[in-house]
Amino acid sequence: MDATRDWDDDKPHEECGVFGVWNGGDAAALTALGLHALQHRGQEAAGIVTLDEKGLFHAHKGLGLVGDNFGEAKIIASLRGGAAVGHNRYATTGETALRNVQPLYADFEFGGFAVAHNGNLTNANALKRALVRRGCLFQSTTDSEVFVHLIAISLYSTVLDRLIDALKQVQGAYSLVALHNGALIGARDPIGVRPLVLGRLANGGWVLASETCALDIVSAEFVRDIEAGEIVIIDDSGVRSVKPFGRNDSRFCIFEYIYFARPDSVMEGKPVYETRKRIGAELARESGVPADVVVPVPDSGVPSAMGYAAEAGIPFELGIIRNHYVGRTFIEPTDQIRHLGVKLKHSANRPMLEGKRVILVDDSIVRGTTSRKIVEMVRQAGAKEVHMRISSPPTTHSCYYGIDTPERSQLMAAKHDVAEMARIIGADSLAFISLDGLYRALGRPARDPAKPDFCDACFTGDYVIPLTDWEDNADRQLSLLQPAGE
């Protein structure tokens, strides 16, 4: 099993990973490693801004993987300083222009400031229009630049007060790391949709990261999750905490457990791998079916398939093999090839499937296109029956809180009931875990509709953060400028 989920057309995509270091020694190298461990959260671009002891900032950004951009020793060496913030980006707009790569940097009156965020603002457009009206110039099309302008025009004097001023104006889901001459800052939105954890280096330095797997790679000790609505200010005197939004009920993204997070991370106290196995077991209890083998759709379906198999007492087998050598460009099929229905990334382990009743376990169905191909491939390899089991409830709604999902009209579960979906993907049976079953696997008795413990809007449409930019019918076009030749 592995942590790869690259370029998969029919999966939701996490938008970003963030990492920050204070007093870390080789801060750029640590940040490059941390971003490497968070590579599954965004593969389109990576950036690091460091701060040296003279108060100068050093930046490097590029399109592509962390290793592609930070693989040269001279790049790391030129990113001087013991503090840094870094960012992996998955582009939500399709525009991968370099000017949109984070961290964003700005020269303020009070000095330099760099910020990187994971998440999505839901009133970015409204704020942007107001800011442009008062003379602000936008250079990128990222939501993140809104933060920077709000800080720039804030009438408060300290950086922290300006940041709080800015955060109080934005709506949305975000975890951010920021760096200025006096401190490293971390912040989570009031209900804590996106993750952010605090760790400590052996040398006493501090680390902020989207997931614990990024602490592990730099041998940082996990200290705690940053809380919903909390701002932490890290400087040489230690970690200070501020909660400017008062008390909120936390609603962490439930999909992080199902799919996004790396299996070796621990989120809000729960190991992700173990949790996925529990979801699989719950799924087996809810919708068991007689079969000969349980086969995961690799790689993300593996742990839930293992949980399913163990609970159902049916052998777990690797009936689908994944090929990771895909290269930069994809082989374009000719007409003849297209008829073959070639799958470049998956192949059926024919001897394992022939004549068998197969339970396929996957984590989600978005458009359904990949599921149909997988079922067809398994049947062509000789499976007698194909039963699809999904370790999440039907994805009926889009995410506006930092996950790239198709529009609702393209979500299979928004248009079809389960029976129709089974027919469309060609499975003999199809079942999703129930919402309550999912909450049970997460240790709750059931979902409390009055006060759910997680953000589950993609399954329920329960959008707890207002969708201002969509409600006022604003188009989301953020610039009249169209880059040529892309």
Residue 244: count of CB within 10 angstroms of its CB: 16
Query: Of 394, 371, 361, whose CA–CA distance to 291 is shortest?
Result: 361
Q: Does 39 bind its own copies (CB under 8 A)?
A: yes
Q: Does 43 bind its own copies (CB under 8 A)?
A: yes
The residue behind tokens 């040269």 is: 72
399 annotated binding-site participant: yes
Q: Using the rule CB under 8 A, which residue among 223, 242, 289, 318 binds its own copies?
A: 318
Q: Does 269 bind its own copies (CB under 8 A)?
A: no
136 annotated binding-site participant: no
16 is catalytic: yes
Provide the phi-psi class of 453: left if phi over 0, else alpha when psi is between -120 and 50, else beta: alpha
d(CA 386, CA 425): 10
Nearest distance in Å: CB 226, its own copies: 20
Looking at the Cβ atoms of 305 and 431, the one nearer to its own copies is 305
Contacts of 416 (CB under 8 A, 6+ apart): 424
The region of 168-176, 269-277, 387-395, 396-404 touching its own copies under the rule CB under 8 A is 269-277
Nearest distance in Å: CB 457, its own copies: 28
Nearest distance in Å: CB 272, its own copies: 8
d(CA 26, CA 257): 32
Q: Using the rule CB under 8 A, which residue among 11, 13, 36, 117 binds its own copies?
A: 36
Residue type, 49: V
| 264: preceding bond cis by omega (within 30 degrees) | no
Looking at the Cβ atoms of 71 and 443, the one nearer to its own copies is 71
The residue behind tokens 């970015």 is: 124
d(CA 125, CA 290): 52
Q: Does 432 bind its own copies (CB under 8 A)?
A: no
Burial (Cβ within 10 Å: 0-12, 13-18, ≥19) of residue 423:
exposed
213 annotated binding-site participant: no
Q: Does 482 bind its own copies (CB under 8 A)?
A: yes
The region of 132-140, 233-241, 395-403, 425-433 touching its own copies under the rule CB under 8 A is 132-140
Burial (Cβ within 10 Å: 0-12, 13-18, ≥19) of residue 97:
middle
CA 435 to chain centre: 21
Q: Does 471 bind its own copies (CB under 8 A)?
A: no
Q: Does 93 bind its own copies (CB under 8 A)?
A: no
Question: Where are the strands (E) in 205-329, listed by range?
Answer: 206-209, 221-225, 231-235, 238-242, 252-253, 266-267, 270-271, 293-296, 320-322
Nearest distance in Å: CB 402, its own copies: 20
d(CA 163, CA 231): 10
362 annotated binding-site participant: yes
Q: Does 40 bind its own copies (CB under 8 A)?
A: yes
Q: Using the rule CB under 8 A, which residue among 87, 194, 262, 389 binds its own copies?
A: 262
Q: Per CB under 8 A, which of residues 154..193 are in contact with its own copies?
A: 154
Q: Does 303 bind its own copies (CB under 8 A)?
A: yes
Q: Does 351 bind its own copies (CB under 8 A)?
A: yes
Q: Which residues pair with 186 in a beta bridge?
A: 177, 232
363 annotated binding-site participant: yes
Nearest distance in Å: CB 147, its own copies: 11
What character string, x for contact with its own copies (CB under 8 A) and - otherwise, covers 2-21? xxx-x---------------
Q: Does 378 bind its own copies (CB under 8 A)?
A: no
Q: Using the rule CB under 8 A, which residue among 352, 359, 375, 424 binds its own copies?
A: 352
Looking at the Cβ atoms of 260 and 316, the one nearer to its own copies is 316
Nearest distance in Å: CB 478, its own copies: 8
Q: Is 211 helix (H, G, I), strand (E, B) or coil?
A: coil
Q: Does 221 bind its own copies (CB under 8 A)?
A: no
Residue 72: count of CB within 10 angstroms of its CB: 10
d(CA 48, CA 463): 33
The region of 244-252, 281-289, 336-344, 416-424 touching its own copies under the rule CB under 8 A is 336-344
Q: Does 74 bind its own copies (CB under 8 A)?
A: yes
The residue behind tokens 């809380």 is: 227
CA Rg value for the chain: 23
Nearest distance in Å: CB 118, its own copies: 17
Nearest distance in Å: CB 399, its own copies: 23
Looking at the Cβ atoms of 337 and 419, the one nearer to its own copies is 337
Q: Using the rule CB under 8 A, which residue among 302, 361, 424, 430 binds its own copies?
A: 302
d(CA 18, CA 211): 9
Contact in structure between 121 and 466 (CB atoms under 8 Å):
no
Catalytic residue among 11, 13, 16, 457: 16
d(CA 234, CA 159): 13
Q: Does 138 bind its own copies (CB under 8 A)?
A: yes
Rounded (5°) CA angle 377-379-384: 155
Q: Does 365 bind its own copies (CB under 8 A)?
A: no
Q: Using the rule CB under 8 A, which residue among 156, 337, 466, 476 binds its own copies?
A: 337
Burial (Cβ within 10 Å: 0-12, 13-18, ≥19) of residue 200:
middle
By annotation, the residues acting in catalysis are 16
Q: Which residue ranges are tagged as binding site?
A: 253, 300, 362-363, 399, 455, 458
